Structure 1
Amino acid sequence: MVRFSHLLNYIASIAIILIPLIPDRAISSVPISISQIQTDSADWQTLLEKAEDYENRERYQEAEILYRQILSAPQPDSMNDWMYYVIHINLGENLQAQGKFPDAIAIFEKLLDAPFEDRYFRDRGRYAIDKIAEIQETAKDRITKGLKAIKNDPTNPWGYEDLAIGLALENRLAQGLTFLEDNLGSPLTPENALELGKAAVSSTVYSNFQHLILRSSFPVTQQAIALYRQLVMRYPRDRNIRWGFLDVLDVYGDPEESIAAYREAIAQLPSENLYWALARKLESAGKLTEAIDVYKQLIDLSLTEPRVYVALGSLLEQKQQQDLALQVYLKGIETFPEDYPRDRRCHVVKTTNYDRLVKLLDSQNRLHEVITILEQFNSHPNPEIYQNLAIALEYEKHQDIAAVVYRRLREVYPDSELLGGGGC
């Protein structure tokens, strides 16, 4: 039986022969996957697999530690020379992605002495060193250009974008606020600080970083989050900066930090939108009890609209609290009687408290009690409520009960003109 490690060594030797046929740039732009070249199980291989796992999750610092741990030990017999230098390449690209250019160059220089007749590793090392020089030169030029533009016009968004690109390439975007203020000699206004934050998360910064670094934009996003943390600490009551921070956390941040940031924003600048977003995040995180509490706060503070009652009732149903959900839908109807179930021929279709009430009672086989339940909760429903309830019943194919509700509407309000279906 052919041992797996021998087979891979054979494949590697064939690869060495074929590699010179591939253009240098194409070789250098394709990261080597550790999982594609494995040998027999040994301590170094376990470390290598962990390093790959960290890199797949874009946790470059943890991966760097493991790469260094492998290379600091004597090369084991179970590791062939090809694998040994592959690990150097991965460590070098890891350091390059982190903006640790001197360390990366030191690693890539070791490839220049690779003991192979084939030139692959030497060419890879030279290419990487030249690429780092290009990155450093680009970063310097962008920073210089950005500073000049901002000094001439502090509102110029292109200046902030150039500065952000340069700092990102040098892994210094997180220090952008301090760097810019030191060079300007004065604190930034909230408006200018926001321009820096917006530049930090612009697609142009990400595309430049990925083009030159040849890795994920993850390091940039984490630096942008760190920068926004500073902006929020500096200007805690600036609504636009708060929203910018929340937006970047929504896309790139840790869910727990995002939830904490929404709570902090509410403490500083309470609004219906912030409460709503926090409740939705808690719901997505499976924290239904906490989400319910936030929806209740919205209602208690009168910072609400019909969707809050719908969302709260739905969560209560998920937690098997149907009686409470029923009360919530009835309260939503009483508070927003005009929020009727729009005709499905209209372009705007949304679930209303009327819809949820009908579906809940239907699931309990209590639709025949709907008028009694409604009037026990609200002794004097206005005409709109009867009509909109009938519309919801019709949409759910309960025409017979809808007809009963329409008759009740005529009994209570004989002069009412609200006797037809809802419009758009």
Structure 2
Amino acid sequence: MSDQRHMRINLNLRGVGFHTAAWRHPDSAPHRVHDLDYYVELVRAAERGLFDSVFLADMMTFPQSGSGQNELAWPLDPFTMLAGVAPHTEHIGLIGTLSTTYNDPYAVARKVAALDQLSGGRAGVNLVTSTGDEVARQFGWDRHTEHELRYERAGEFITVLNALWDAAGEPVEHHGNHFDVSGALDIAGSPQGRPVIVQAGASESGRALAGRFAEAVFAGSSDIPAGALLYDDLKARVVAGGRPSTDLAVLPGVVPYVGSTEAEARRVYGELEELILDDGGNIARLGQELGLDLGAADPDGPVPVDDFPAVEGYQGGVTRLVRLRAWALEEGVSLRRFANTVYRSLGVIHWTPVGTPEQIADELESWFRGGAADGFNVLVPQHTRQLDAFVDQVVPVLQRRGLFRTEYATTTLRDHLGITRPNLARAA
């Protein structure tokens, strides 16, 4: 099993990158966002950097023009893409997203187990509860299920997944509040004991779910103190649930801009900023996301945090709502600047360091040694230039400091992460 002191590093794959204007940069390839060979190249670059895993998000509704979501950001079905990537890689973990609200646990267990077999035990699944009534209508529902019920269903969903995977082809009988399952998977046993469960929700319900089931969490914190609070809370929940704290890898998101000098890093950042097409619509997009009419708000005034919706009854992403509220209060910037910043990185809210490989490594080390991270979920602003910069410049600095592996010593995703195999847990 890998050294527990080493960082875990995941690459968050997304189209041409996480800067909203990356598609306009001459070094980008927006015409290739549905090209399997393009993703093979990106994943092999991450494997060259000895990353633990790559992650493909999913979007269950196609972004409409003016929605603030870039159509070039999203790949095809994550598990279809990852199955295509698998035979072109040897070590790196492959994590895709699936919804517990709009899927059946037996079908998901079978799909993920298939990728796990094809990849020799490198599969993981990021389980989400989805957001919004627009998604619900696509599946024949009038409204999206309320927050607490979604997470109740998700907990039972994961219970069924684990039962099916652990049964190793033997029949499973489950009769609960949300699912009745009677049968066995046609795939017997996982090369890694069981595919890895990943989660990202930071609401109270999301944290509770992570404490019960998650083996990796994609976290979102803008500074070390906030990251350490979340880290300690998640680890405490894991221990309270009877697992060792090391059976959960907490991976905060980071959007790094890397240059051989600080001036070059700032030039890379500035180039992308200059390519933003500012149509003045980011305030409207923020209002649409939050269900607010911001048309009469002063763009140069404070963010109207008091008007943000309450968590109770909110049909959007509760974790994101909580982060938006906290970030607005922490930053204290104008509504215009806040809205523009929110959508600069395709709507993600993560820490964004700009600097040399040594400066980026310094910040990563500070988070890691400061008790705020077991590693990082890297969201490069632009593929492939910034991915290569991180792999070829930042990773060697981390290796010289003894913070990251210099070779793959394990073959499965679970073992890369240092997570206990379920058969060992049952024998304990």
Normalised by the length of structure 2, the TM-score is: 0.22
Q: Which has the higher contact order (CA 8 A, sep 6+)?
A: 2
Rg comparison, structure with higher value? 1
Compare the two structures and name the one with the higher helix fraction. 1
Compare the two structures and name the one with the higher strand fraction. 2
